[in-house]
Amino acid sequence: MRTKGSARDFWARLQSIDRRWIYLVVWLVVMVPLIFPFRIRPKATPPVEKLFEFIDAMPQEKALVLSIDYGPDTQAELQPMLVALLRHAFATHHKVGVLAMVLTGLGLGENALSQVASEFNARAATHDDSIVNGEDYVFWGWNTPYITVMLGMGENISKVFPVDYYGAKTESLPLMRHLKNYADVGILVSLASSSFPQAWINLAQTQFGVKLGCGVTAVSAADFYPYLNSGQFSGMLGGMKGAAEYEQLVEEGMAKAGENWRLRARGTEAMSSQTAAHLAIILFIIIGNIAFFANRRRKL
């Protein structure tokens, strides 16, 4: 039978525990769900729903343009957004144009396009069902300075990007016959770890009236809510949570359309690790406070 004194000693030892044990527990809590992720189904918030619904309802003749305005340092948060947006566009048979405003984003764009195109082509039965470079999407690549790119695309995209990322003449691509400038763009979504979404507003939207959306890191999301509330952004994805919510909406939309094949959702998988870490930290805070007050009461 545990005595009152032993209980007090327990709380005292708990407060003096080596912090390295806490770090080890947090490491395990973060790593195990990444290796063996548990499935969560996040409920989409209004900014995410708005972007999804806008793209879902876009006329077929309008293209989705994705600007990769981030590099490998924020890939964990923003790459799942890029993949989910591509899946949504291809599932709804919208044409896609992709460019990179950050040079290090080129490889990320190529990886995402290759992954999603392979997913759809693995189930394609005919050419019409396939995702074909130059017909269903175009990867323009990178150019500089960004002011010239943003303004130039409003006049003639092929002049800004004479050749695509793969070296083909842009004007020769079948898709580019119907994608001349912003007038042919349904919405442009900037996936950014910096202030590029604001630049798109100042240069592309103000000058040419193109509709805009954005996907940003969680730490910077608060900076862009004023633009969302003013209607300058038609929707916004914030951090890994926003990516996971969009993945869920895409999966549900594909299921409604009869496409019940399961795709890997890295944003949702990472959210399981993040959720477990948050719960562990909350538990540590509760236990720490209990130990503190129990010890203080003993000293009184």
The DSSP secondary structure of 64-119, one letter per residue, reads EEEEEE--GGGHHHHHHHHHHHHHHHHHTT--EEEEESSTTHHHHHHHHHHHHHHH
Q: Six-digit token pair at 245?
A: 């919510």
Q: What percent of the chain has pLDDT over 90?
A: 65
pLDDT attached to residue 13: 77
Of the candidates 156, 210, 203, which has an alpha carbon nearest to the alpha carbon of residue 180?
156
| DSSP element (H, E) containing 63 | strand 63-69
Calpha distance 13→136 (Å, rounded):
64
Residue 204 lies inside a defined structural domain of this protein: yes
Domain annotation covers residue 280: no
Confidence of residue 237 (pLDDT cuts 50, 70, 90): very high
Total domains, the chain = 1
Give the residue-averaged pLDDT of 110-133.
92
- Evaluate whether residue 116 is within a structural domain: yes
State the pLDDT at residue 43: 85
Mean pLDDT confidence for 78-106: 96
pLDDT of residue 254: 85
The pLDDT of residue 56: 95
Mean pLDDT of all residues belonging to the chain: 90
- Please list the residues that pair with 138 across neighbouring strands: 97
How far is it, in rounded angstroms, from Cα 132 to Cα 117? 8
| Mean pLDDT on 229-246 | 95
- Of how many residues is the chain composed? 300
Task: Summarize the confidence of residues 168-191 as an average pLDDT.
Answer: 96
Q: What is the mean pLDDT of residues 206-229?
A: 96
pLDDT digits (tens, 9 = 90+) for 139-157: 999 999 999 999 999 999 9
Residue 7 confidence (pLDDT): 60
**In degrees to the nearest 10, what's the CA dihedral of 67, 69, 70, 75?**
-20
240: domain CATH number is 3.40.50
CA 71 vs. chain centroid, Å, equals 13
User: Which residues span the domain enclosing 208?
Assistant: 46-272
pTM of the model: 0.86
26-83 residue pLDDT tens: 889 888 887 887 777 788 999 999 999 999 999 999 999 999 999 999 999 999 999 9
